[in-house]
């Protein structure tokens, strides 16, 4: 079956698709608007999902998404090919933008005035089937979810709140009503476990 062939190959290094993305980035550096459109088509849903889980209000999130892509256009030259892949660069840039937004003074004043309602689902549990979702993507998502389950819940909870909601450790401490020191310890232990588990999953796929 195709899926096993592909899964077996996950550990092997191939730059086919990531090379295409790098090429897109190079074109974007050269101000090729078409290339930016293509990158938008590839990434908009993932990045919007990430922004929305942090910013919550849809209109605001769309604002941030727009900012992200204009930022990509302007700052493409800061993406260095040899130093990591396009995916990491985009995901990091997006998270930073979203988090900057919620930590800005304006946002905080606004937030007090409104009731935050939208709690986006973190996980694609069950059968919400999207034909454009690739098997690879959902396999990787399953892998990460599985890894999170193997971490003690106290730790994974802290990681989830930090990542999906973009809270600072002191905000997490308030939100979960646990001491700041505990938040730090759990974050540290959780991230160490997570990285080790993911490493071992990826290595397993090599065999």
Partner 1 sequence: MTNNTTHSEHFEELCAGYVLNALSAAENEEFEELLREADEDQRQTFDEMQSAANNLAFTVEKVQPSASVKKAVIKNIESGSTSDDAVAVSAVPTDSESKEKSRGLSRSTLAMAASFALLIITLALAYFAFDQNATINEQEATITELKSENQQKDEMLSILGARTVDLVVMDGLEVNPGGYGKVIWDAENQQALLQVSNLPEVPSGKAYQLWLIKNNKPVPSGLFSVQTGAKDSFFKIEQMADANKQSANAFAITLEPEGGSQQPTGAMYMLGNVAKSN
Q: How far is the CB of 198 from partner 1 (least distance, A)?
A: 5
Nearer to partner 1, 113 or 129 (CB): 129
Q: How far is the CB of 115 from partner 1 (least distance, A)?
A: 20
Nearer to partner 1, 37 or 153 (CB): 37
Q: How far is the CB of 67 from partner 1 (least distance, A)?
A: 5
Q: How far is the CB of 189 from partner 1 (least distance, A)?
A: 8
Task: Give the alpha-carbon dihedral of 28, 67, 75, 83, to 10 degrees.
Answer: -90
Q: Return the sign of the alpha-carbon dihedral for residues 187, 193, 196, 197.
A: negative
Nearer to partner 1, 111 or 141 (CB): 141
Nearer to partner 1, 86 or 113 (CB): 86
Rounded CA-CA distance 203/201 in Å is 5
Query: 169-190 as b/e, with b when 16 or more CB fall inside 10 Å?
Result: bebbbeebeeeeeebeebbebb
């Amino acid at each position: 079956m195709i899926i096993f062939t592909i899964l077996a190959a996950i550990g092997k290094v191939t730059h086919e698709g990531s090379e295409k993305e790098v090429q897109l980035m190079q074109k974007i550096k050269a101000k090729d608007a078409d290339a930016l459109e293509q990158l938008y088509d590839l990434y908009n849903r993932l990045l919007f999902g990430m922004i929305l889980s942090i910013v919550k209000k849809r209109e605001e999130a769309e604002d941030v998404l727009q900012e992200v892509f204009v930022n990509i256009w302007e700052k493409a030259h800061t993406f260095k090919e040899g130093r990591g892949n396009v995916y990491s660069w985009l995901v990091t840039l997006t998270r930073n933008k979203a988090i900057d937004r919620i930590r800005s003074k304006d946002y905080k004043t606004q937030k007090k005035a409104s009731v935050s309602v939208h709690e986006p689902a973190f996980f694609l549990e069950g059968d919400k089937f999207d034909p454009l979702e690739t098997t690879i993507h959902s396999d990787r998502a399953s892998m990460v979810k599985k890894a999170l389950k193997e971490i003690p819940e106290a730790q994974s909870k802290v990681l989830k709140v930090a990542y999906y909601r973009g809270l600072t450790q002191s905000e997490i401490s308030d939100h979960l009503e646990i001491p700041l020191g505990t938040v730090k310890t759990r974050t540290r232990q959780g991230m160490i476990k997570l990285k080790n588990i993911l490493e071992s999953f990826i290595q397993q796929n090599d065999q």
